Every structure is written in C-alpha cells, then in structure tokens.
Amino acid sequence: MPYRAPVSEYQFLFDHVIGLHQVTATERFAEATPDMTAAILTEAGRMCEEVLYPLQRAGDLHPARLENGVVRTPPGFAEGYRAIATGGWVSISAQPDHGGMGLPMTLTTAVNEMMSSACLSLQLAPLMTQGQIEALEHHASDELKALYLPRLVSGEWAGTMNLTEPQAGSDVGALRTRAEDNGDGSYAITGQKIYISWGDNDFTENVCHLVLARLPDGVPGTKGISLFLVPKLIPDENGNPGARNSLNVVSLEHKMGLHGSPTAVMQYDGATGWLVGEAHQGMRAMFTMMNNARLGVGGQGIGVAEGAFQHALAYAQDRKQGHTPDKDNPDTIIGHANVRRMLAGMKSEIFAARAIALACAQAIDMETATGAKHWAARAALLTPIAKVGGTETGINVANTGVQLHGGMGYIEETGAAQYLRDVRVTAIYEGTNGIQAMDLVGRKLMDGGEAAFALIDEMQAAAEAARGGLPDLAESVWQATESLREATDWMLAQDDMTQRFAGAIPYLRGFARILGAHFHLMAAQAEGGDGARTRLARFFITRLLPEHAGHLAHATAGAADLYALTPSDFAA
C-alpha cells in the first residue's frame, strides 16, 4: 500500500480556501505561477512517493547509530537525502541571492508535509536546515551568509539547532554553555547540548550547528544569551570543509520512535564558532528559526496523519470481516459504520489541521511580501495553533489508524504503530505543546486580542456569507465563533497569566476546532454546497465541532481549583 501525494488537495486549498492568489499577486512571489506551483507539487510528490516512502520502515528497523564517534544513518538514507538535495527540496523558500528559489512558505509547507508523510525521520534533516537558513538570512553577517547559505540551500551542508541542556529545557534561559572571544572574530564554545536532532550524519560534507551560549558579560536568563554558528569542519580559505572542530557526538538517544533520525548529545570543548546577530540577542535570532520550525513541526504532524490515514484506508478497503450494511462494500470493513466514522474523523481532522497550517504559512508569505503588521500578527497568532493542531492531529489520526487495524495495528510489521511512535515526539520538540498554548494565551494576546478578533471577525463574515447555501452549518460555525470571542474576552480579562495558563491547552484546542470548522465551511461553499467536501464538512461540523464547548468551558475555569489541589492530594 504505497503513499500517494495529495497534490490535488493542496491545489484545492491554495485555490479555494486560503487564497494563494493573494500571495502570488505580490511582486515578491510573482514567480510562483499556477504552473510553477503545480510543477513543484507534482515533482516533490513523485520524489516522496518513489524515493522517500520506501525508506520509512528501513529507518525504523535500522536506527541511526554511533560507531567510534561517527553517526551511521539507516540504509538508503544517504540516497534519499541526495534525492532531496538534488531536487532542490531542502529549501525552496530560501532567498534567491544565495541560491534559493524564493518560493512562498505556503509551498514549502506542502512540500515539507509530503516528505513527512513519506519518511518523517529523514525529513527532519532538511527541516532543521531550513530553520538555520532562515536564521542566517535574517541575522548573520554578509560574510557568514556568503560562506554558508549557498551550501546549506544546496543541501551540501546540513544545519542543526542547539538549545537544550539537561537543566535548561523549556526554560532556555537556564543554559550554561559559554562562549569566549578568541580575539580573531571567532569565539570558543564550551558546553553540552542534548536532544540535537540530526546532530551529525554521514551524507553531507559538513554539519553546521547553531548554538545558544552565554558570553562572559551575558546576564543570567534569556537576555544574556548569544547565538553562534559552529561548523563540524571549519571552512578553509576557499570555503571548503577544513579542520575538524572541537565538538563531538557523545551519544545517541534510544527513542520511542523516529529511529532513523539520530538524536544526539553534543559536546563542545572550546569549539570555534561565529556570532550570529548581535551579542546577547541570541533569543531573537533563535525565535526566527523556531517560528519557522514550529510551523514545520505542525506540518510533520499533518504529514504523518496523511500517511497513517492512507495506510488505514487501504486496509479498510481490503480487509474482509463480517457483513456490512453498505451495498457497495458488503464484506470489507469500510462498510461498517464505526470504521467509516473513524475514517471520516481522520480525513476531516487532516483537512482542518492542514488548512490551518497553510493559512499560517500564507500569513508568513504576506508578511514577507508586504511587511504589513497585520499579516505578521496573523502569522504569530496561527503559529502555535498550527503547531499544536498539527501535532495533535498527527497523534490522534495515527492512534485511530492503529485502532482501525485491530490486532494487526499492534504488530510492528503492519506499519500502523510506527506512525504513532514516530509522530509522538512532535508534540514535545520545538517547544512542547504546553509551551505553545501558553504562548497563544500570553504573548499572542498581548495586542489586546486584535489579531484574534480580526480572525474571528473574518470567520463570522464567512459564516454569514455561507448562510444562503448551507444555513445549518453556517449557523453552527457562527455560534462557535461567538463562543470563541467570549472565551477570548475571558482570557484578556485575566491580568494574572496563571489564570490564562490554567486553560491554555483547552483554549487552543477549542480555537483549532472552530478554525477547522470555518475552513471546512469555506471548502463546502467553494463547491457550491454539494459534493465530497460538503459531505466531509457536514461530518466535521456536526460531529467534531461540538467538542469546542467542552474545551472552552475547561479553558475558562481559572486556576484556583488547580492550586487548591496540593501535591499531597495527588499522593496514592
């Protein structure tokens, strides 16, 4: 049961739901013509189907390993990576001045998602590089840009990001890695970093680490952190990989999934690095990288969900068991109501999460192209929703995929379980989902709710416009957006952030459900209220949208009851 890239689905979303034409109407993205877009999706999709998908199981069976300090990747991964690099898929959105194609992030999001469906553990390598490219584009000196960007964009070199230390996870400001000025424009970096995805590989000429560290005059906390570029091999005068830097992979983690991707403990012993951006401004630069990566990780969740869904659908159409009430499918399990419900749930959740991620990417593109603040605010608002919504969809859909297979789902050879084990990390890395939700109710509402209310207004206008053709669905969506407005008002009324944080995750879940329903309604509208998309929208709005009420009740319950529960209340 091979993976099939959902090219026409992206095309529909571009054309009828998120309105990619707004992006391509700008000068910055004028080259992204419909022909170009179609060609990119088709070519990338084919590479995912033919080259990457066959590597998925191999990566699980033959985990990346450390041999005498050298990382060995799973069989076929080197060839797979070469196909990504030579196809230009490492970063199609990199700026043209250093070899990039300068295409919209919207398109990158679709391409990244397809690669994630096909082989998540390998896809993580270019995703890390993409984040590094963007951080360098925005913050590095011209010299560093000229030296590194062309090689990162081409995929000859790979990038990683190094934030976490054993005592500094969600609290990045607690990091202890230090940097000292070598007096020659370079710095000596010393410390240990953990959870470094693709900390090394055996298929690129060089691996470039972006490392957060503290200069001697850096104050404690996040305001004293600087960002450094630390290559594994120090480029010589011609820019070719030269002397080995003083850094090492100490060990690789034994993980629940994503076995093909080496997760490294990195040791820096006075390694030579170069400052990226201003001293003590490292968090700003890192956030550029992380915002990109957060949307990217949301896309990973959606990609895995798509893979798991296709896998389950094929099984449901093939597996004979019992007699069903469906005349067209009397023997196969897709004819059973409960199986059909599971498939419809999977498909409609994927649509919702995908539309949210693409809308976020589009806002980033509009910000890039126009510099307009309201697009920047939209992108910032949608990023945590895209990350949590995408990764929770990945976990839920993969979990349903296991369930749909019955006993076979628990057997590793089937492949359903791997999707679940692989995708589980996406809710954790690049800022846990809890951190994302706190970002949403905290920082992302610091504009007094302007961005959130603008989006709610847009959803309500769309619902009003849909009343003619789809009155019942439009009314359900409209009412839900009104509940979201009230919950947002409640959040804004809490000056004490703890009150907001106590309901952050359920608020985000409710928001995602309502936004997903809005996009479903738009899709139904686009086909005139009759057809497959309308049927799917009806399923989602009738059966899944009502969950928003439970989420929002939970979201606005406040913190008092949580802190009334003492640790001793929890004891057995």
* Using rule CB under 8 A, residue 330 touches a second copy: no
Q: Interface mask (CB under 8 A) for a second copy, residues 195-234, using x and -? A: x---------------------------------------
Q: Which of residues 404-433 bind a second copy (CB under 8 A)?
A: 406-407, 409-413, 417, 420-421, 424-425, 427-429, 432-433
Element (H, E) at 195: strand 187-197
* Shortest spacing between CB 435 and a second copy, in angstroms: 8
* Using rule CB under 8 A, residue 188 touches a second copy: no
Distance CA 333, CA 386 (A): 32
* Shortest spacing between CB 546 and a second copy, in angstroms: 4
Active site residue 527: no
* Residues sharing a CB contact under 8 Å with residue 454, sequence separation 6 or more, in sequence order: 374, 377, 378
DSSP string, 490-530: HHHH--SHHHHHTTHHHHHHHHHHHHHHHHHHHHHHHTTT-
Q: Interface mask (CB under 8 A) for a second copy, residues 493-522, using x and -? A: ---x-x--xx-xxx----------------
Considering only 33-41, 87-95, 150-158, 555-563, which stretch makes contact with a second copy by CB under 8 A? 555-563
* Using rule CB under 8 A, residue 42 touches a second copy: no
Number of amino acids touching a second copy (CB under 8 A):
100
Element (H, E) at 264: strand 263-276
Give the number of other Cβ atoms within 10 Å of residue 85's Cβ: 20
Residue among 35 and 564 whose Cβ is closer to a second copy: 564
Q: Interface mask (CB under 8 A) for a second copy, residues 460-489, using x and -? A: ------------------------------
- Asked if 158 contacts 198 with a C-beta cutoff of 8 angstroms, the reply is yes
Q: Among 351, 316, 310, which residue's Cα sits nearest to residue 337?
A: 316
Among 339, 357, 359, 455, binds a second copy (CB under 8 A): 339
Among 438, 462, 466, 517, binds a second copy (CB under 8 A): 438
* Using rule CB under 8 A, residue 94 touches a second copy: no
**In a 10 Å sphere around its CB, with 0-12 CB exposed, 13-18 middle and 19+ buried, how is residue 174 labelled?**
middle
* Using rule CB under 8 A, residue 253 touches a second copy: yes
Q: Among 249, 357, 270, 346, which residue's Cα sits nearest to residue 17?
A: 357
* Using rule CB under 8 A, residue 313 touches a second copy: yes
* Using rule CB under 8 A, residue 237 touches a second copy: no
- Asked if 562 contacts 493 with a C-beta cutoff of 8 angstroms, the reply is no
Considering only 81-89, 90-98, 291-299, 327-335, which stretch makes contact with a second copy by CB under 8 A? 327-335
The one-character DSSP state at 332 is B
- Asked if 429 contacts 300 with a C-beta cutoff of 8 angstroms, the reply is no
* Using rule CB under 8 A, residue 526 touches a second copy: no
Among 91, 164, 261, 488, binds a second copy (CB under 8 A): 164
Element (H, E) at 78: helix 77-86
Work out the angle between the directed axes of helices 471-493 and 504-526 (0-180°, nearest 10): 150
* Using rule CB under 8 A, residue 68 touches a second copy: no
Annotated catalytic sites, by residue? 430
